[in-house]
Amino acid sequence: MDQAPLFTLNDEQNLEAAVIRSHQEPVVIYKHSMTCGVSFRARREIERLTDATDPPVYEVIVQRARPLSRQIAQRWRIRHESPQVIVLYQGEPIFNASHRRITAQSIRTAIQTAATS
């Protein structure tokens, strides 16, 4: 299977596109560092999102988009961490996790829980 769509998120316009899409389906914002071993492990989990029902992933590389990373933290009042996953649905965060808590299964479970609420 192919990986779920992965989009680069590097400015406010891209972020707004992700928020708009979240009103149609859950989306994942994945913030990470390119030089961190824990981020590498988390990225491998993100790459496991290969099912047709898995959400699109919007990737923020913190070294390249630091202001956007801060904006995301402020907008949803979620403390910035790296690596970090935030699942948005209908414009609001329904799940966030960082470091070793980032797993493909935890993301899927959060989306399934939201769908049945």
Q: What confidence tens digit (pLDDT) does each residue in 39-92 have? A: 999 999 999 998 888 999 999 999 999 999 999 999 999 999 999 999 999 999
CATH number at residue 63: 3.40.30.10
Total domain count, the chain: 1
* Assigned domain for 19 exists: yes
Query: How far is it, in rounded angstroms, from Cα 61 to Cα 103?
Result: 18
* Assigned domain for 74 exists: yes
Query: How far is it, in rounded angstroms, from Cα 63 to Cα 31?
Result: 10
Domain span including residue 54: 6-115
pTM for this prediction: 0.93
* Assigned domain for 1 exists: no
* Assigned domain for 108 exists: yes
H-only helix segments in the chain: 12-21, 37-46, 66-76, 104-115
pLDDT digits (tens, 9 = 90+) for 30-43: 999 999 989 999 99
pLDDT at position 96 over 60: yes
* Assigned domain for 106 exists: yes
AA letter at 35 = T
